With several copies, the nearest count.
Chain A
């Protein structure tokens, strides 16, 4: 008997898809109904299989050995008196192994039944040359009212500062006023009203800005000792004159 085993064993292992597959084959050989198999007997058979492979120095894939180690543990635990402190429960492990085999077996059976059904393009056929249905798509645009308003709000928020800058450009900066007042002062010898130093503009805002910065320019020139200021009374006309150097 042992002489006949090697050849068969090698061939058999080639045919198995891993240890669970081998276990299932062994279990099926025991009984028709997987729910009635003897786990202990199954473990014995598996370990025997692996042991024979070892004796014959056949190389076994690692997962077969891992399963063997686990089954050896299960076997010893099943044989020993049950220790309630040990988790997980050995009986539970055995039932789970059995369920796994049942599930794999069920999926194999289900797969076979699926493949045996009347399959489209193999057993049943759809119409060979259907005219086909054509859908002419017509775009229908959609916007929520809120999105419309929010978009406008954001446009306004985004662009308002830009409008601001355009308006604010209508000012005369201190530097500009200083240069202008200093230059005009050079051409004048006598007292002259500050309004006469302002550039001409119909824009009242620009004129106010111009007046303010020209006044500051006059103060600055006076501080530097380049100009004299003269005013009769509060709010009276303000006069400006070059300091002769």
Chain B
């Protein structure tokens, strides 16, 4: 490799246990053209056994997706999410920040105990402030780990997000109307 700085960036990314921001790379590799190095390394590793990818402004190496079958062997199968968990995660990702009441309004049912816990435990969502409405409900957003895990460069990479937005399906939730059924059902508890 011709460029000593590219080499340093490559070594730092390779040794890191976590995806690194440009600032973190610079903190270790020293001052230099981080962006240029990342571009050149991305091109260099394209099509190899592992690749350099960006996830939410953080960079890491990961194996090529088409080699998954070679590498899954002998690994613990990751826990399967329930249908409620998958829907809740999708709602948070596409509507964030979003409150529990808004999630319930979209799903039409109360969120079972544990659904949000499982997503938080997985490190994919986190509480992010409160909505300034009566009751000040907690809002949830996705995390950088969510982007890393699902291979998304940023939230703009969410599948079909532009079409959904254009169709008005990501507009703010009208709680007054949509929560009707949920509230009534909730009175049982």
Contact = CB atoms under 8 A, between A and B. Distances in A.
Interface of A: 17-21, 61-63, 66-67, 70, 96, 99-100, 102-104, 106-115, 117-143, 145, 147-162, 164-165, 168, 173
B18 interface: yes
Chain A to chain B: the 10 pairs with minimum beta-carbon distance, closest first: A20-B108, A153-B169, A63-B185, A111-B90, A152-B90, A18-B109, A118-B65, A141-B122, A157-B173, A111-B86
B169 A124 contact: no
Contact of A148 (B61, B62, B86): B86
A139 B74 CA distance: 10
A114 B152 CA distance: 10
A140 B78 contact: yes
B71 A148 contact: no
B184 A66 contact: yes
B169 A18 contact: no
B77 A145 contact: no
Give the interface centre of B17, B50, B148 by most chain A CB atoms within 10 Å: B17
Contacts of A114: 86, 89-90, 93, 150, 158-159
Contacts of B113: none
Contacts of A21: 108-109
A133 B173 CA distance: 43
B181 to A, nearest CB: 5
B107 interface: yes
Interface in B157-178: 158-161, 164-165, 167-174, 177-178
Given A113-B160, A133-B73, A148-B150, A122 B78 contact: yes
B72 interface: yes
A141 B185 CA distance: 43
Interface in B60-101: 60-65, 68, 71-81, 83-87, 89-91, 93-94
15 contacts: A18-B109, A62-B184, A117-B152, A119-B149, A124-B151, A133-B12, A133-B20, A134-B72, A141-B80, A143-B81, A149-B158, A149-B169, A155-B107, A156-B164, A173-B188
A114 B87 CA distance: 10
Contact of A63 (B68, B84, B173, B181): B181
A140 B79 contact: yes
Contacts of B118: 141
B133 interface: no
A143 B80 contact: yes
A170 to B, nearest CB: 14
Contacts of A70: 180-181
B185 A140 contact: no
B132 interface: no
A211 to B, nearest CB: 19
Contacts of A112: 86
A129 B151 contact: no
A77 to B, nearest CB: 15
A33 to B, nearest CB: 12
B16 interface: yes
B60 A126 contact: yes
A42 to B, nearest CB: 14
Given A110-B94, A135-B73, A151 B164 contact: no
A109 B172 CA distance: 19
Contact of A147 (B86, B122, B149, B174): B86
A107 B87 contact: yes
B81 to A, nearest CB: 5
Given A100-B106, A115-B81, 10 more contacts: A19-B108, A99-B169, A107-B107, A120-B149, A140-B78, A148-B86, A153-B165, A155-B87, A159-B108, A161-B181
A155 B170 CA distance: 9
A17 B106 contact: no
